[in-house]
Structure 1
Amino acid sequence: MSVRRLRAVLRALHLVPAVALVLYVYTPLADVESFRTVVQIVSVPLLGLTGLALWQAPRILARRRRRAAEPR
């Protein structure tokens, strides 16, 4: 997978839970117990992980390239 494709996938994975979080905050869906549970257990951690991955992607990929280039 190319770096551009990886970034596009991470961005999409970041935007979907962001929309769910916006719906949770600004609509009456916060009163629905199942939606609240999904937002709290799935969306918020996924936002954190994808945000970190987008932020640190250059460092992670550079480290992977260095490790792959090292002789074993």
Structure 2
Amino acid sequence: MIAPNGVHVIELNDWQGSRESRNGTWLQTRIGGQQVVHGNPRHLVHKKAEELARLLSPVRRAGAVGC
């Protein structure tokens, strides 16, 4: 999402059931009680944000974006 104060990354997942964080790991409890461990998506989101910044840097240097 692009807003006046910056670009915000929103991570969407199509998960059913509940989620909780345990020591930096995400635990999904599906309907029916099955538990699934997921890695913290923060690292992947950070990597995606760095790549987006790299791709946008030539545009910013050219002055095409009011930064």
The TM-score, its normalising length taken from structure 1, stands at: 0.32
- Kindly indicate whether structure 1 or structure 2 has the higher relative contact order, using CA contacts under 8 Å at least 6 residues apart: 1
| Higher percent of residues as strand | 2
The TM-score, its normalising length taken from structure 2, stands at: 0.33
| Higher percent of residues as helix | 1
